[in-house]
Structure 1
Amino acid sequence: RCRNLTFPDRLPEVSIVFIFVNEALSVILRSIRSAIDRTPAHLLKEIILVDDNSNNEELKDKLKKYVDEVNARKPGFIKVVRHSKQEGLIRSRVSGWRVATAPVVALFDAHVEFNVGWAEPVLTRIKENRKRVISPSFDNIKYDNFEIEEYPLSAQGFDWELWCRYLNPPKSWWKLENTTAPIRSPALIGCFIVDREYFQEIGLLDEGMEVYGGENVELGIRVWQCGGSVEVLPCSRIAHIERAHKPYTEDLTAHVRRNALRVAEVWMDEFKSHVYMAWNIPQEDSGIDIGDISERKALRKKLQCKTFRWYLVSVYPEMRMYSDTVAYGVLQNSLKSDLCLDQGPDTENIPIMYICHGMTPQV
């Protein structure tokens, strides 16, 4: 069905931004080549590479040689931004956006491969309404053999810890009986495409967050509450490597927790208690420094954004709300104090005793 769709002759150009830190050179080159081969030449204005302070020497001389070869044929087509210190994925994406000059900016990891026809559906939707933030439909690239595994169509949401997750498309989408129709999505998984000027108007990403984790959820919430929308497009397909090794840190938990509390305090009103409860943190005197959020609160006021209750009712009704919580925290064994009541290995499983870890709720 996607092959039968038609698109306007005049679509906006796009700048594709790739973020990397110590990525394999071969993977970066595959991403670049894929973008060039699978994006119509008249729509792809430039490719921007943001190196977040890699220490892999191969990503300096050899990558520069490749970029120089491409730019010799098409001057200025590939731009390289190199950070003098590691900024994290969130601020790196903003760095790439600042260099971009096309009307539309696509912000991606540098370990993706584009499918044929990915760009036209995205650019059409943004041309129709610049306040749409678009996610492609993702497939998986197996990191050990580079085979592409097709993922089912999904929306993108999150739990109360603000870890992102895939969701079944809403009932309203299924009723259309049209698998090419845009899927209304509460949030974003991470990679997305956005009108360059609108992205600035809406507040970019929260640069007060650290590394990554939660910024995609925050953006989705903010876009919806402040008058925009988020969509996943079934006919725009991009494959992404889920790596066994994470380049910034093996354990993102502390960063995601801090970032989640920033989101809660700025955007979630009375429901911020759900985030504290999910992370098993006292709402008063949490002991976690989330940084200055005054600018983000001022942004919300300036944009005259709706409440988080509106968001839950109108955009994310699948999200479970808790109204009868008396207390939360761990249930510790009085006879063996290193054990706490925990959930079993499977969802909805019977409770078990497990080593107390003091992180997310154990019941």
Structure 2
Amino acid sequence: MMYRLHNCFSYLPLIFYTTFSVQSSHIDQRDAHAVMQSPTLKRDRRATKNLFPNSNLFKNWHPDLSEEEQREAEELFQRYGYNVFLSDKIPLERELPETRDHRCLTKEYPSDLPTISVILIYVDEALSVIKRAICSIINRTPSHLLKEIILVDDRSTNEDLQGKLNAFIDFIHKTRPGLVKKVRHEERMGLSQARLSGWKASTGDVVAILDAHIEVYVQWAEPLLARIQADRRLVLSPVFDVVNFYNMEVTPYQAAAHGFDWALWCQYDFFNQEWYDRNDQSLPAKSPSVMGIFVVDRLFFEEIGTLDGGMKTYGGENVELGIRVWLCGGSIEIIPCSKVAHIERAHKPYAQNLNVLMKRNALRVAEVWLDEYKINVNAAWNLPPTDHGIDIGDVSERKRLRERLQCKPFKWYLDNVYPRLDPLDDLLGYGMLINSLKTDVCVDQGLLSRNTPILYVCHHQVSQVSAPLFPVHPSFSTSPERRCLTDPGSGRLPVLHKCSKQQIYKYWDFKQGQAIKNRDTGRCLEIAIGPNGYYQLHIQDCSGQRWTIQHVIKDRGFS
């Protein structure tokens, strides 16, 4: 079983096992005009040259389109980050593949479940995608459970999302009066605030806060509502299948825990071993955190502090929620029998670089919730151990919330909820590692596949700033995966290995501004001119070369 880590903002689950082509079921007559022959099918005409061979869209999607159609498809793709040209052609109601574990299909749920308000968040989303999301929710949620669908528009500029969307809502209201509500921000407030706006407008017993570029599966709501009926202090997540951005086909994924790294970027992780030992993939599983899509009892969400209103725009608010829920009396579960298909964007049409906002939000979370471990967030972002100089806003209200809820310390979370998150208790220093002979180059992890650290022009990015030092005889790690720099014992090149207690030759004696000497071999990490005429990292007899590391944690005994 292989897991991969990635930015949660694309909400991409992992461990795919097959791909299904989408198929239409019965076509709603009111939308029949939107259905035509799929552009994925070949047409009976002379092939047209691909005008955009380097486009991520046409690298993966190979329809026979005219030049005019290609230009339209590419323009829409660049605007939205997925294949709107194709989305506009396929039915609003389409059959999704059955991707749940077979044991989910035999489960029965009470008829008196809580009601649910479904909140769809969007900014400049494609109209056909929003309409398809609404159709799937209406058709696949029992009518007596679906209290309302709330559309939260974070000040879109797309004109289709005004008159045409309103007309679609009016049509729905002919048979389901008042089912769909709209909340529109007069100025763009960001994802966190949009979620709060939806929650404030909701009236159901339970709220499901979703993106608008989704489709729900049959019986998606019942497993979630049944768990919350059993324990209202749960925050839940369905399992996300992926709708490919290029062909709108569905790739199903298995369930995984929602975790994060010390930069507070979301990532997927293993569940606790106990869940796998039960050998039943239909069972709920505890998770350290939650992604941007989650389901919660509406009143409990308020009791636990909703979302941090001081978060800006995008990023980190879901990790903050996950930590807070666990520390303050709730818990988080992934529900494998609840499935939602989510479009995987090739790129985001707004907020292209999230690093600045994410860094600020992560530091805000650290200040309120992470206690003595907040220094690990500074290290992950390569900021000084103290006085990082970034304005994180007023956190006094959130600290009062923590005191009022009598929340546990973060160490309890590490010990009991997320032991897979390395506490970095042995972190003594971090940042760029520079030799005094050549101060414009830094130790860099190089290509991951080669496991050979290199010297590279200092660029302050992750491959150079993740170099923590460890106590007594420090080992040097140059990767978020905690790969340690080792002396292989022979030869001149250092080697990177995943850190483990059994790994030999990974410990180094070092003081700031002095040599880096291997504890076991007695050789030093140094630099020398290589065969290509450039400086290279070498392991050799010590000649007195001196090194400095960018940031030192002085109160942990390193100098």
Does TM, normalized by the shorter one, top 0.5? yes
> Does the residue aligned with 1:291 lie in a helix, a strand or coil?
coil
Alpha-carbon spacing, 1:355–1:190, altered in 2? closer, same or farther (3 Å): farther
Identity of aligned residues (%): 54
Say whether the 8 Å CA contact 1:47–1:78 is kept in structure 2: yes
Matches within 5 A, 1:324-343: 324-332=426-434, 334=436, 337-343=439-445
Match of 1:9 in 2: 111
2:352 paired with 1:258: no
2:422 paired with 1:323: no
Alpha-carbon spacing, 1:339–1:129, altered in 2? closer, same or farther (3 Å): same
Cα offset, 1:258, TM superposition: 0.6
How far apart, in 2, do the equivalents of 1:335 and 1:85 lie?
53
Amino acid corresponding to residue 87 of structure 1 in structure 2: M
Amino acid corresponding to residue 314 of structure 1 in structure 2: N
Match of 1:52 in 2: 154
> Does the residue aligned with 1:250 lie in a helix, a strand or coil?
coil
Match of 2:205 in 1: 103
Match of 2:312 in 1: 210
Q: 1:196 aligns with which of 286, 298, 303?
A: 298
Q: 2:134 aligns with which of 32, 47, 51?
A: 32
2:389 paired with 1:279: no
Q: 1:313 aligns with which of 401, 406, 415?
A: 415
Cα offset, 1:189, TM superposition: 1.5
How far apart, in 2, do the equivalents of 1:61 and 1:283 lie?
52
Say whether the 8 Å CA contact 1:21–1:247 is kept in structure 2: no
Match of 1:187 in 2: 289
Amino acid corresponding to residue 287 of structure 2 in structure 1: S
Q: 1:22 aligns with which of 111, 118, 124?
A: 124
How far apart, in 2, do the equivalents of 1:338 and 1:189 lie?
40
Amino acid corresponding to residue 356 of structure 1 in structure 2: C
Match of 2:249 in 1: 147
How far apart, in 1, do the equivalents of 2:127 and 2:458 lie?
42
> Does the residue aligned with 1:166 lie in a helix, a strand or coil?
strand
> Does the residue aligned with 2:307 lie in a helix, a strand or coil?
coil
After superposition, what is the alpha-carbon deviation per residue over 1:63-102, rounded to whole angstroms, capped at 9, x for unaligned? 1111111123222110001101000000000000000000
How far apart, in 2, do the equivalents of 1:324 and 1:79 lie?
52
Alpha-carbon spacing, 1:150–1:301, altered in 2? closer, same or farther (3 Å): same
Greater Cα shift, 52-61 or 337-346? 337-346
More helix per residue: 1
Cα offset, 1:158, TM superposition: 0.4
Cα offset, 1:333, TM superposition: 5.3
Alpha-carbon spacing, 1:70–1:355, altered in 2? closer, same or farther (3 Å): farther
Amino acid corresponding to residue 123 of structure 1 in structure 2: L
> Does the residue aligned with 1:91 lie in a helix, a strand or coil?
helix
TM-score by length of 1: 0.97
Alpha-carbon spacing, 1:107–1:131, altered in 2? closer, same or farther (3 Å): same
How far apart, in 1, do the equivalents of 2:355 and 2:387 lie?
19
How far apart, in 2, do the equivalents of 1:40 and 1:190 lie?
24
Match of 1:352 in 2: 454
Amino acid corresponding to residue 236 of structure 1 in structure 2: S
How far apart, in 1, do the equivalents of 2:125 and 2:441 lie?
40
Cα offset, 1:44, TM superposition: 0.7
Cα offset, 1:340, TM superposition: 2.3
Match of 1:64 in 2: 166
Q: Give the number of equivalent residue pairs.
A: 363
How far apart, in 2, do the equivalents of 1:354 and 1:190 lie?
36
Match of 1:174 in 2: 276
| Structure of higher CA gyration radius | 2
How far apart, in 2, do the equivalents of 1:322 and 1:264 lie?
15
Structure 1: runs of 5 or more not aligned: none
Amino acid corresponding to residue 42 of structure 1 in structure 2: H
Match of 1:93 in 2: 195
How far apart, in 1, do the equivalents of 2:450 and 2:332 lie?
31
How far apart, in 2, do the equivalents of 1:166 and 1:281 lie?
25
Structure 2: runs of 5 or more not aligned: 1-102, 467-477, 479-559
> Does the residue aligned with 2:336 lie in a helix, a strand or coil?
strand
> Does the residue aligned with 1:121 lie in a helix, a strand or coil?
helix
Match of 2:351 in 1: 249
After superposition, what is the alpha-carbon deviation per residue over 1:291-317, rounded to whole angstroms, capped at 9, x for unaligned? 100010000000000010000000001
Cα offset, 1:336, TM superposition: 5.2
How far apart, in 2, do the equivalents of 1:336 and 1:85 lie?
50
Cα offset, 1:30, TM superposition: 1.0
> Does the residue aligned with 2:434 lie in a helix, a strand or coil?
coil
Q: 1:232 aligns with which of 297, 320, 334?
A: 334
After superposition, what is the alpha-carbon deviation per residue over 1:260-307, rounded to whole angstroms, capped at 9, x for unaligned? 101111001111111111111113221210010001000000000001
Say whether the 8 Å CA contact 1:262–1:293 is kept in structure 2: yes
Say whether the 8 Å CA contact 1:88–1:248 is kept in structure 2: no
How far apart, in 2, do the equivalents of 1:76 and 1:176 lie?
44
Q: 2:261 aligns with which of 159, 168, 175?
A: 159
Say whether the 8 Å CA contact 1:211–1:248 is kept in structure 2: no
Say whether the 8 Å CA contact 1:340–1:354 is kept in structure 2: yes
How far apart, in 2, do the equivalents of 1:42 and 1:353 lie?
64
How far apart, in 2, do the equivalents of 1:63 and 1:23 lie?
11
